[in-house]
Amino acid sequence: MKDCKSRSPFCLIKRNSYLLIVLVLCCLFTVYGRDKAYAVDISVGATTWYAWWDWEYDNSANQNPDIDPILFFGPVLSVKLNEDFNITAVFLYGQTDMKFPAGDGYKIKRSDLDLALNYRLNNYFKVFGGLKYLDYTYSAKGDPFKMEEYGLGPGLGLSCTYPINDHLFLLGTFSGFYLWGEQESNYSNIKYDIETYGINSTLSIAYYIAPASTAISLGGRFQYFISNDNRDKEDKLYGITLTATYSVSL
């Protein structure tokens, strides 16, 4: 299931993921080395997302499963390179149970990674572009069945930061993405090519605790996307987010 022997761009990226990480780190150190007069601000922390998940097959209600609410959690990282550019990374992982009307029950494990380069337009708005990665694993209860689905592709969006006062901020993002990937199971050797496209948006309010160099934000996140695997599928995830980050200058 984890092997990727295809010559597709997605599989090449997947096989060389560690090399990509090294290249990103080299780029960061190169930029920092050329601009030593400017301190690099780093924010690191953790985020959670308690989400409800609606899943529709072919717009047919009698095929749609019931999915329990899912708690995602993971690290967040932001590196401010200079006054105009910063790099952000957010990883979320969660697992839940779902049940189809026919009675089949499954456990789902889902990973979601966003890596973006942000450019400041003015004091309020930034544009960003980067990569998004989604990964699902489905396993049946009391059965050896297992299926994996994954996708990787570009994303593009806009973010806004509006200061209410010196310590309170309103934050919002809106982005779109397009992913290529595959779906396969241990019940057959058939692999389905998947294309996924959708949107992601967040709205939250953040409070900065200056003595602790820490920001706490609370808000909501909505994600909608369509996947054309062996059957068209629509996903909607929406819920409450809570994030805490600590900032330091190097």
Q: State the sign of the Cα–Cα–Cα–Cα dihedral 134, 55, 143, 109.
A: positive
Give the three-state DSSP class for 93: strand
Most distant CA pair in the chain: distance in Å? 64
Residue 23's identity, in one-letter code, is L
Q: Are strands 214-228 and 85-99 parallel, antiparallel or unpaired?
A: unpaired
pTM attached to this predicted model: 0.83
Closest CA to 190 of 230, 243, 237: 230
Query: May I ask the CATH architecture of the domain 39-249?
Result: Beta Barrel (2.40)
- pLDDT band at 231, cuts 50/70/90? low
- pLDDT for 26 beyond 90: no
- pLDDT for 35 beyond 70: no
Q: Which residue has the tokens 């996903």?
A: 235
pLDDT of residue 199: 95
